[in-house]
Structure 1
Amino acid sequence: MIQPTRSTYSSQTLSLNAWHWGDPANPPLLLVHGGLDHARSWDWIARELAADWHVVAPDLRGHGDSDWASSSGYPMMNFVYDLGEIVRQLGWDRFTLIGHSLGGNIALRYAGLFPDRIERLVSIEGLGPSPDMLAKRVEKGIENRLRDWFDDVRTASGRSHRAYGSVADAEARMRAANAHLSEDQVRHLTEHGLRQQSDGEGEGGWRWKFDPMIRAWCPLDITQDEIHGLWGKIACPTWLAYGGKSWASNPAEDGRDAYFSNAHVTLYEDAGHWLHHDAFDAFMSDLRAFIE
């Protein structure tokens, strides 16, 4: 079984982790994972592509084996900046970019900012909340959203992850939260998503690697119109993939695909939010056809 090699890169004083598959002389391809996830979630796809591509998958700040952001925080554009930094430090001029969920959102913003850098772009459920969800958020008012954020930050600052007594206990939690995963996927995602720690009182335990502060999502960001403007500046062929059993809204039905100049949408009827796990064979076949 192909195993990746590990490297680190720096961004805004943080040391961030990345995993590499394949020959660096091959065409470059970057994989960006979603929120509360980690880079080793891409292993199945990376192994399939490693013979033909130099595949790199970073752990986002606050995730996996990357540093937590104690000062610079988790605003969306900080993630986009981190993506720009790994690309700059790798010395890539043009590359293929694939992102899932939060990673898809990051990828779309980067591709709109630097359209000449991207050969092909895949965003797996990466357009963010649906238009209906956004409308309800706006109705709530910025003052209420900011007050809620104050509460979320206070709560997240005072908590740590639940400690699991064993990896098997954490696997049970992963299995319950993601009904479409196979047992192999549950084991792999859990193994690479955990860190063994002491609570300071001599009691050990297994805890998720991601920073609990990720859950305190700041409501301040560029506007939705500005986001749509970035989508419209993406120049490369773009593929938007969605799961029929996911919470996410299909952009071919809610109208968001109209903001792109060169995009198509694929719906995987029996897949959930992690459709690249749930419909792996079909997704890989479509992915190869699109990027190659």
Structure 2
Amino acid sequence: MSIKFVKERLFKANGIQLAAKEWGDPSGMPVIALHGWLDNANSFDQMLPYLTDMHVIAIDMAGHSQSGDRSEDSGYDIWQDIGDVLAVSEQMNWDRFALLGHSRGAIVSALVAGTFPKLVSHCILIDSYFPIPNKPANAAGQLAKAITDRKRFQTIKPSAFNSFDDAVKARVNGFVPLQKQAATILAERGVVEVDGKFSWRNDQRLKSSSMLTFTKEQCESFFTAIKCPIMLIQAESGLLQGPIQPQLKEWVPHIEVLSMAGSHHLHLEDQAQQVAEKTQQLFIG
């Protein structure tokens, strides 16, 4: 029987509250689902009903939608999410779990699988895999940009729209275009009304550059440590157009790479069932 939405959940992680959606029965396989940048837990609403025998916690990641923002002296460097994932797993009393990640959430999933390989049973990466490596010589410039960005975005307010539909349209035509239905699903969780105006509820500091970025050697350290069954689903019209970087297969020889028709949010659009079927095959068999 396909899994169904159960209830909203709240977790504590590193001083903030994380909101999440619980799907499926506690007897099912433990899965933590991680959405992409500026998305939210509704990102998986279209595909999860096609899964069976799983117990899924889909998180609003820090700074997104209904989850809390990080403190003023903190930020959103990608490695900070690793601790949040572990906090959720501990509060669920899961000593082993699978990861289902899209975009930035896919990168976080891979980092968790490499950092704590004994905790992760399986891993699905949707249209992303590892952060773009940087050169050590760029570290000073990277840090300067991040500090400048963080100061600037602390004072910038999110765009305010006259209607819910206008907020949806902005997302449809955004940096990563979305089908209207997909944008509406995200907006149902991520858009808030304040004084008659509608805004996407994301911490503006999420748009800041990272303080530091991983070098190629650091990426290799994480990815060569991944031991679990792992699959990358590449959208033919997504962000990973073209051949996958050869280092991925060198570092993770057992990874299965699958190309599928669709755009970056294929799991939330027309290919939701196909993505779910591949997830089911890897996770359950």
- TM-score, normalised to structure 2's length? 0.89
Q: CA deviation at 1:216?
A: 0.6
CA distance 1:163–1:180, change in 2 (3 Å)? closer
CA distance 1:168–1:127, change in 2 (3 Å)? same
Deviations 1:36-90 (A, max 9, x none): 11011111222222x4211111111101211001233212221111001101111
User: What residue in structure 1 maps to residue 67 of structure 2?
Assistant: 66
User: What residue in structure 1 maps to residue 56 of structure 2?
Assistant: 55
**2:122 maps to amino acid:** R
Query: What is the CA–CA distance in structure 2 between the aligned matches of 1:275 and 1:235, rounded to whole Å?
Result: 26
Task: Name structure 1 gaps, 5 residues minimum.
Answer: 199-203
Query: 3-state SS of the aligned residue for 1:17?
Result: strand
Q: Is 1:264 aligned to 2:256, yes or no?
A: yes
The more displaced of 227-236 and 240-249 is 240-249
Instruction: State percent identity of aligned pairs.
Output: 24
User: What residue in structure 2 maps to residue 214 of structure 1?
Assistant: 206
Q: Are the equivalent residues in 2 in contact too, given 1:76–1:106 (CA < 8 A)?
A: yes
Query: 3-state SS of the aligned residue for 1:44?
Result: coil
CA distance 1:140–1:172, change in 2 (3 Å)? farther
Q: Are the equivalent residues in 1 in contact too, given 2:96–2:119 (CA < 8 A)?
A: yes
User: What residue in structure 1 maps to residue 226 of structure 2?
Assistant: 234
User: What residue in structure 2 maps to residue 281 of structure 1?
Assistant: 273
Q: Are the equivalent residues in 2 in contact too, given 1:242–1:250 (CA < 8 A)?
A: no
Q: Are the equivalent residues in 1 in contact too, given 2:232–2:256 (CA < 8 A)?
A: yes
Bigger relative CO (Cα 8 Å, ≥ 6 apart): 2
Query: What is the CA–CA distance in structure 1 between the aligned matches of 2:150 and 2:5, rounded to whole Å?
Result: 37
Deviations 1:118-159 (A, max 9, x none): 2211111232455xxx4xx53983332223223322321121
**2:219 maps to amino acid:** I
User: What residue in structure 1 maps to residue 240 of structure 2?
Assistant: 248
Structure with greater helix percent: 1
The more displaced of 101-110 and 271-280 is 271-280
CA distance 1:37–1:66, change in 2 (3 Å)? same
Number of residue-to-residue matches in the alignment: 279
- Alignment root-mean-square deviation, CA: 2.2
Query: 3-state SS of the aligned residue for 1:234?
Result: coil
- TM-score, normalised to structure 1's length? 0.87
Query: What is the CA–CA distance in structure 2 between the aligned matches of 1:187 and 1:167, rounded to whole Å?
Result: 9
Q: Is 1:172 aligned to 2:169, yes or no?
A: yes
Query: What is the CA–CA distance in structure 1 between the aligned matches of 2:150 and 2:157, rounded to whole Å?
Result: 13
CA distance 1:39–1:108, change in 2 (3 Å)? same
User: What residue in structure 2 maps to residue 201 of structure 1?
Assistant: none
User: What residue in structure 2 maps to residue 89 of structure 1?
Assistant: 91
Q: Are the equivalent residues in 1 in contact too, given 2:135–2:215 (CA < 8 A)?
A: no
Query: 3-state SS of the aligned residue for 2:122?
Result: strand
Query: 3-state SS of the aligned residue for 1:99?
Result: strand
CA distance 1:109–1:128, change in 2 (3 Å)? closer
User: What residue in structure 2 maps to residue 125 of structure 1?
Assistant: 127
Query: What is the CA–CA distance in structure 1 between the aligned matches of 2:246 and 2:205, rounded to whole Å?
Result: 31
Task: Name structure 2 gaps, 5 residues minimum.
Answer: none
Moved over 6 A (4+): none
